[in-house]
Amino acid sequence: MPCVVEANQCKAIHLSFTKLPLQRVLLSQVCVRVLVAYSTVSLGRYSIYTLINTYTHPSTTIMVGAQEQGLKLLVPRSGVSIYAIRVQMPLAMKGLAYDYLPKDPGCKSDLLLASNPVHKTLPVLIHGGRPVCESLIIMEYLDNAFPGNGASILPADPYRRAVARFWAAYIDNKMFPSCIGILSTAKQQEKADKVEETLAAFGLLEAALAECSKEGEAEAEAPFFGGGSIGFLDIALGCYIPWFEAIGRLAGMPPFLDATRTPKLAAWAGRFRAAEPVIALLTAVDKVEEYITKVLYPKWNVAVTVGN
Ligand SMILES: N[C@@H](CCC(=O)N[C@@H](CS)C(=O)NCC(=O)O)C(=O)O
């Protein structure tokens, strides 16, 4: 059996009806595999997609209708990783089954060191024994390696691709570091600078959304960065939404995604959150808040309190 699910290492319950004649159900908890035959139910690829996270059902995975491609995904055990969810989204959109292997990012396993010796970070996708590192690169890889599985995640047009990659890199390298910087410093001036940088970044992305989502000859604005459906930049930015919200709350600030200041982005975030497979995968804001206060604050070693 090519798709092996390890006990206590599974997170997602995917119920994805496709037109495959025979689907497989995996129940890792008891290591039982049941073959379930479905007739060609045409309910749309992601009409049913449910996730039960590690906390509620730590060792159960059921995958129905996913294709088995020898994929393993090494992810942080925390369950709040932006970058892990960023990879899980395209995997879900493409209907790909994978072994979900949670690891402690602080404790570098031999598998992680062998798979990502340069950055030693998670997530890492292993496809047929070969590792692919860095979440944005993994997203692109999945799009290129499985072109027949659903719609393309990256824009077809080379210019739009370049623009999407540009903004994704900006979000990772500039916008999020500024935003998290609001909490990681206790110095008032630094904090104020980070707030200003973050708000400026949201302003730039507001304009970028209007530009990237233009579609058709009339250049009407589409609902997503990716056009009519979510794509590369939607996922790249969208996985940060719970973090932006949690950081705003902890900093005692009004929400970053504000309908007055950035109306297009605020509306986009609402649509993104409600879309499949986002609705099932996006981290809860409370969980991120808890992670920041319990794990990151002690790490930063600063006495950060609201209004500090
Ligand atoms: N740029 C990387 C960031 C990955 C990252 O920062 N991963 C964190 C966990 S969410 C990690 O592995 N941290 C451990 C470390 O930095 O040593 C990506 O997009 O995959």
- Whether 81 is in the pocket of ligand 1, judged by its Cβ within 6 Å, is yes
Q: Which residue has the CA at smallest separation from atom 17 of ligand 1?
A: 121
Confidence at residue 29, expressed as pLDDT on a 0 to 100 scale: 28
In this structure, the strands spanning 32-37 and 124-127 are unpaired
DSSP code for 224:
B
Alpha carbons 160 and 233: distance in angstroms, whole number: 10
What distance in angstroms lies between residue 281's CA and the mean position of ligand 1's atoms? 18
Per-residue pLDDT of the chain (308 residues; tens, 9 = 90+): 333 333 333 333 333 333 233 233 233 322 222 222 222 222 323 322 333 333 332 333 434 444 568 999 999 999 999 999 999 999 999 999 999 999 998 889 999 999 999 999 999 999 999 999 999 999 999 999 999 999 899 999 999 999 999 999 999 999 999 999 999 999 999 999 999 999 999 999 999 998 888 776 666 788 999 899 999 999 999 999 999 999 999 999 999 999 999 999 999 999 999 999 999 999 999 999 999 999 999 999 855 554 44
pTM of the full structure: 0.80
**Atom of ligand 1 at shortest distance to CA of 84?**
10
Q: Which of 82, 119, 139 to mutate to test the pocket of ligand 1 (most atoms within 8 A of CB)?
A: 119
Confidence at residue 305, expressed as pLDDT on a 0 to 100 scale: 52
Q: Which of 121, 124, 132, 232 to mutate to test the pocket of ligand 1 (most atoms within 8 A of CB)?
A: 121
- Whether 120 is in the pocket of ligand 1, judged by its Cβ within 6 Å, is yes
Compute φ and ψ for 24, nearest 5 degrees: -115, 140
- Whether 100 is in the pocket of ligand 1, judged by its Cβ within 6 Å, is no
- Whether 83 is in the pocket of ligand 1, judged by its Cβ within 6 Å, is yes
Q: What is the CATH number of domain 156-305?
A: 1.20.1050.10
Q: What is the CATH number of domain 69-144?
A: 3.40.30.10
**Atom of ligand 1 at shortest distance to CA of 120?**
17
- Whether 134 is in the pocket of ligand 1, judged by its Cβ within 6 Å, is yes
Give the up-direction half-sphere exposure of residue 264: CA atoms within 13 A in the CB hemisphere.
18
- Whether 115 is in the pocket of ligand 1, judged by its Cβ within 6 Å, is no
CB within 8 Å of 59: residues ≥ 6 apart: 7, 8, 9, 10, 28, 29
Assigned token pair, 139: 């997203």
Per DSSP (E only), the strands in 53-164 are 62-64, 67-76, 96-103, 124-127, 130-133
Nearest to 68 by CA among 162, 16, 3: 3
Alpha carbons 131 and 255: distance in angstroms, whole number: 38
Confidence at residue 195, expressed as pLDDT on a 0 to 100 scale: 98
**Atom of ligand 1 at shortest distance to CA of 81?**
10
Task: State the burial class of residue 285 (Cβ atoms within 10 Å of its Cβ: 0-12, 13-18, 19+).
Answer: middle
What distance in angstroms lies between residue 124's CA and the mean position of ligand 1's atoms? 10
Q: Where are the domains of the chain?
A: 69-144, 156-305
Confidence at residue 221, expressed as pLDDT on a 0 to 100 scale: 83
Confidence at residue 21, expressed as pLDDT on a 0 to 100 scale: 30
